A = this chain, B = another copy of it.
Amino acid sequence: MREPILLPLDQPELSVDLSGGLVRRTVHPSGLRVLTEFMPGARSATIGFWVGVGSRDEQAENNDAPGSLGSTHFLEHLLFKGTPTRDAFEIATSFDRIGAEHNALTAKEYTCYYAKVRDADVTQAVTVLTDMVANSVIDKDEFEMERGVILEEIAMASDDLADVAGERLFEAVFGEHTLGRPIGGHPETIKAAKRDDVMLHYREQYDPSTLVVTAAGAVDHDAFVDLVLTALNASPEERWHTDRPGTPVRRAQVPTSITRGEKLHITERPSEQINLMIGMEGLHSNDPRRFAYGIMNSVLGGGMSSRLFQEIREKRGLAYTAYSFGASYSDAGLFGIYAGCAPERAQEVLELSRIELNKMAAEGVTEEELERSLGQIAGSSALALEDSDTRMSRLARAEIGSGELYDLDTSLERFHAVTAEDIRSIAAEIAARPQTVVAVGEVSRAGSLDA
């Protein structure tokens, strides 16, 4: 069996030739980690600046708590608002004038700032991204302005009933666990957020030991590392200077159990459709059974030929969309089923979903389904890895996550080793866990929903 590439925190240099790209990694004495994947023939590159801090790290019980709910996402917005040498407009124009695809995202366990640019524009992108991430001034007036923008972002999400269902599902399944918190916070926590608290969060959490810079595409590793180091050492903030020794940080990957929050959560809203979700505890991201789980998810609800799509949409015309999904984190995970349907048919869709999950738990999958799923995973993974975005993210997830990088062939070998019984067994375990039902929309028209 092929083994993943290990990324130990005490190994300064690593170089591995993969089919499709050359992966190189530097762990600098400052604690900074830089990973690149050179893709032959690429004329562009995707660059990501990652910090292993996410919404779940807010308001923890210990003193390292980096701020109130939503402050990690608030900070992500603020890093676009100016440094001593670039105001917000200059940051915006720096990306726009080279036609970069750039953005940032806050997740439950990390925050990422990224840009995809032509090869000739890599230096420009790294310079600006470093300045943003290292040197934000978090101006008071900009802070107030951005508070309004974030409140509008939350309002927008609140008008999207599928978005609302997703947030409610995490809250209901994870209960008091930190993974249950909404990434963006609540309007009241955003209204109450203080500039100095967010600044403190920034200073405590962002430094070379937490920063992971990854790039894929047309990048030369040595030149890229030099570029990042030079940009960091130009910072007016001493904590970024890479002559100071530091120890890189990685989140522990220790499974914890969760206690379900709610069995049934209904959000009544006028609507044509009910957004219906069933959720339960899934697998944490490093669980060795994740390959069997991935195939189970694919057969149950991962495409037009999946059982949920066939039973709910194709055979009965009850929904436009029906699928299952997994979301995995360092210590726990969520498995979910989604369908949007007429309120009057919600109970029927709920029953059909449960029948299919239970059927898989009892009977597993057929050989034909297993084979099809392996083909689907191989094909879609190969297509996804043609994009430098996917490779850039793969490097970062491995580095800030388990410290194990699976290339495509190694992953596929693990998927091929899965047996039909492995799949039945994990389905049985998942199906036996306490289930939560979330419904958002005109639920009053649904009659009863069996939680």
* Interface membership of A85, Cβ < 8 A: no
| CB within 8 Å of B: which A358-407 residues | 371-372, 375-383, 386
**Residues of chain B within 8 A of A321, CB atoms compared:** 156
In the bound complex, do residue B273 and residue A159 qualify as a contact, i.e. CB atoms below 8 Å apart? yes
* Interface membership of A196, Cβ < 8 A: no
Asked if A380 meets B43 with Cβ closer than 8 Å, knowing A93-B305, A159-B161, the reply is no
**Interface mask (A303-340 → B, CB under 8 Å = 1, otherwise 0):** 11110011001111111110000000000000000001
* Interface membership of A153, Cβ < 8 A: yes
**Residues of chain B within 8 A of A155, CB atoms compared:** 272-273, 320, 340, 342
Chain B's closest residue to A20 (CB) is B43
* Interface membership of A8, Cβ < 8 A: no
Chain B's closest residue to A381 (CB) is B99
A positions within 8 Å CB-CB of B:
40-41, 43-44, 80, 88-89, 92-93, 95-101, 116-118, 121, 144-150, 152-153, 155-156, 158-161, 269-273, 303-306, 309-310, 313-321, 340-342, 371-372, 375-383, 386, 441
Complex alpha-carbon distance, A340 and B156, angstroms: 7
**Residues of chain B within 8 A of A303, CB atoms compared:** 92, 95-96
Number of identical protomers: 2
**Residues of chain B within 8 A of A380, CB atoms compared:** 99-101
Asked if A44 meets B382 with Cβ closer than 8 Å, knowing A146-B317, A305-B93, A314-B145, the reply is yes
Asked if A383 meets B44 with Cβ closer than 8 Å, knowing A270-B270, A304-B96, A340-B156, the reply is yes
Chain B's closest residue to A148 (CB) is B317
Asked if A149 meets B317 with Cβ closer than 8 Å, knowing A116-B383, A272-B156, the reply is yes
Q: A95-B303, A118-B383 are in contact. List 14 more A-B contacts (CB 8 A).
A: A44-B382, A44-B386, A92-B305, A92-B309, A97-B371, A98-B376, A101-B383, A116-B383, A145-B314, A152-B317, A152-B318, A152-B340, A155-B320, A270-B270
In the bound complex, do residue A376 and residue B97 qualify as a contact, i.e. CB atoms below 8 Å apart? yes
Asked if A148 meets B318 with Cβ closer than 8 Å, knowing A269-B270, A310-B89, the reply is yes
